[in-house]
Structure 1
Amino acid sequence: MVLAAIVDISERQRLAEDLHDLSALQAAIVASSQDALISETDVGVITSWNAGAERMFGYSMEEVVGRRIFDVVVPDDGHDEEQRKLDEMRRDGQVKSFDARRRHKDGHLIDVGITLSPIRDRLGNISGVAVVKRDISARKRQEERFRAVVESMPTAVVLMNRRGIIEMVNARTEQVFGYSRQELTGQKIEMLIPARFRAAHPDLRNAFFSAPGPRPMGGGRDLYGQRRDGTEVPIEIGLSPLHTDDGLAVLAAITDITERVRTSQTMAEHQRELERSNKELATYAHVASHDLKSPLRGIVQLANWIEEDLQSESFDTIPGHMELLRSRIRRMENLLDDLLAYSHAGRVRGGMVHVDMGRLARELFELQSPPPGLELVLVGDLPEFITLAAPLEQVLRNLFSNAIKHHDRPAGRIEVSCSATDDGFWAFVVTDDGPGIPPKYHERVFEMFQTLRPRDEVEGSGMGLALVKKIVETYGGTITIASDGVRGCSMRFTWPITISGKSHT
């Protein structure tokens, strides 16, 4: 029995020594920690204050123990947040972490990371709180420098986490997309992506995080962002991984390339215009060598005839030859006038005006002095809209002239109808019940100086439809023919409902 008692006392002595050693270790850790380690009662009264807290806040332990933490280091504007975190901890018993600013003894503020942990009594009830405060001023300065660099960048910059939540944007992002940073922060990145691309984006985001690395986005595809007003903006995106305290994030540098795209489109348009001009130049060369020479040869031949008449004193034939000569000269003048009109097609003089197409069609038809038996029929209501009147009048006038000139009956009708297309154009159709145009000539009639009958049998130079085609295509439209070549012909041309981006001088 005596031996057993000695063993029991030795065991308790060993346990007591272990507890003492553990307490000494804990005390050493608390004393040597660079962080502020503070314990408080459940109502915020300070019960312990380590050397780290003394160094961080400038108060000795004797100055603060027994005082409320709110009266010592928590500035007035931080009371609500601290109290809210304490209340949350008491409700759910979970550790709470947050960043805040706390006051030094001399009054200056310190950026700190704060962790609140519940202290429980032997019954498991929360009786106090253990507080760890870490000076994060250096980290905050780094973050501010990082934010300053991002803010000064000429491109839009968006920082988002692995879940696609936007954590930071710069001023350029606000300008490009039309949102404030308050509206963007905390939202999914998909809000900046057009609806047709959103479903596929999470998979693309996950692919980046599975193999992070700097890279351009899109792989050669055209990329678009969506603004606050729903419009789309062409963009280029560069992605860079960024390691943060909260884990891996991605920094997206977004460049608005609207001006570059516009410049590219303008250059492409100029290239098309250059190609068209070169083609026209080649046509002009053909005209000069063939079509213009033909009446000149006729003039020379008639001059020779008149000279022979004079030499042989055949005066009775001279008036007829003179009339033919004047006819050839008028034909030459018409060719030159039409060629000049063709070269100027699309170079509009005048501005945008209100046009009543029904009224315009009636006026232009009457100006052609049609035969009494030929009538104009307007099918449905023709539109009224703002446009460049001069080129549109030229198109309609030439189509009327062509239909009237080639009509082969004493009575007939010309119809004009209109409908809107899905791509922002009016589709006008001018239909006549004349002889029609065989399908094999549907393309040829739009070439310069092309007629389906000999020149001496038809009035005009054959430039009318070529001029119409050039004007219509100058404004982005098209013109087509529907005719079986037996009876009737429909000329359909499209004209923009709204004209923009063209020079009106």
Structure 2
Amino acid sequence: MNRRFFLDSDETFRAILECAPDAMIITDAEGIMLIVNAEAERLFDYARPELIGQPIELLIPERFRTRHPSHRTDYAAHPRRRPMAAGLELFGRRRDGTEIPVEICLAPLPLADARLTCSAIRDVSARQTAEDDHRRTMESYRMAVEVAEIGTWFWDGSKDRITWSGQFQKLFGLQSDAVLSYDEITGLIHPEDKPRIDAAIEAALHRDVPYDIEYRIVWPDGSIRWLIAKGRVHRDAAGSPLDMQGTITDVTERKRAQEVLRQREAQERRTAELVRSNHDLEQFAYVAAHDLQEPLRMVASFTQLLGQRYKGRLDADADEFIDYAVDGAQRMQQLIKDLLAYCRLGTGGQAPQLTSCLDTLDDALRNLHAAIAESGATITNDALPDIVADCAQLVQLFQNLIGNAIKYRSEQPPRIHVGVRASESEEWIFSVSDNGIGIDAKYFDRIFAMFQRLHGRTRYPGTGIGLTMCRKIVERHGGRIWVEANPGPGTTFRFALPAGGTD
């Protein structure tokens, strides 16, 4: 009777069903489909005659079919208009067996002699695809923000409430899952930076100024971190702020790198100024020493002539005074000679070229022949390498170090050894060892300074410039020089030169 009723029903009712945008299916109490509209045909890919008279389970995926009759019975016992399984994922089954996500709304039809149900079924494939795409996009965004260690925050203008992400809290030195108040967060901002932040937020909200600010925070452990905060204000049609959202990023390492770079540039400027100053001083010292030679030569010559002519003809004090004057003039001449030699190290010299260290050592020993013979010194050496160097300055270096070893000898005849070894840092480490009187370790740091003397002039003559010249020669070749105490008597001077020489 029910089936005949619907087959003979008013065409207006059928027309309404046909116009519905959703698939419409009317079933009886046993779940038999009585009426379907065109959208139901399209959605499930069945012709209308193929659906009429069939159980509704035909359109339900097989994995749900066995449970569906009990759900249908429960609904028939308490019929009412309601969405089916709201909040759950529902699926329909098409002719070819493919499943489609759907939303279903059930409603009982108010007929006196029939218990019929109208099902409105909507295909939500497009919406679900969009939701899945949005979910994937948001997950990608979340992962990107997490990997980039970017904290996010949001101000809701309607509630005047600020929320922030777990990464935001981590950037403040806090646990990401800790429950914190706004005051606890802002309490970590450096006190000197709070006024700037407040002013920047006010400018963004009320004057539409871009919110972009660097500020410091003080972590709970007391360390200082630098953050960059950026934000954007969303406004209504009238221009009033609705909300504001933004990000924070830790830039502490960048700030440290900038500070290191700033200090390095300042150091380079100071170094350049010192180089210019040293060059000017060397030029001045060279010119001054050079100009002093002639008048000093006259003083020395006439003082010596005075001593020769009048020695013994004046009293003893006069003879002593003349001796002092002659000695002082001679020492001054030697000092000027050494000072000029030192200045020439920085203002001249030969272009570096491949040089035999053995040949330069032989030249130095020939220059020291008289001192070696007089002291009875024995000098030995390892096989020495060839390096790129200023040959004349290398001769001077060996001559000064070996000459010092002879000068500061003990009562035993000097035994001096010139050694060399290769280092892992592509350097040649040279050594000049002796059995002399040695040097107290407390003087190691000062013996290379200008005019430094550890002994009186009476026993060990000299100007105190020799080791300073050694240091300058070594540094000019890109190396370094130092002194070590021997396990027994004597001293070892070591200097390192690049294995490839210097430009």
TM class by smaller structure: 0.3 to 0.5
TM-score w.r.t. structure 1 length? 0.44
Structure showing greater radius of gyration is 2
TM-score w.r.t. structure 2 length? 0.44
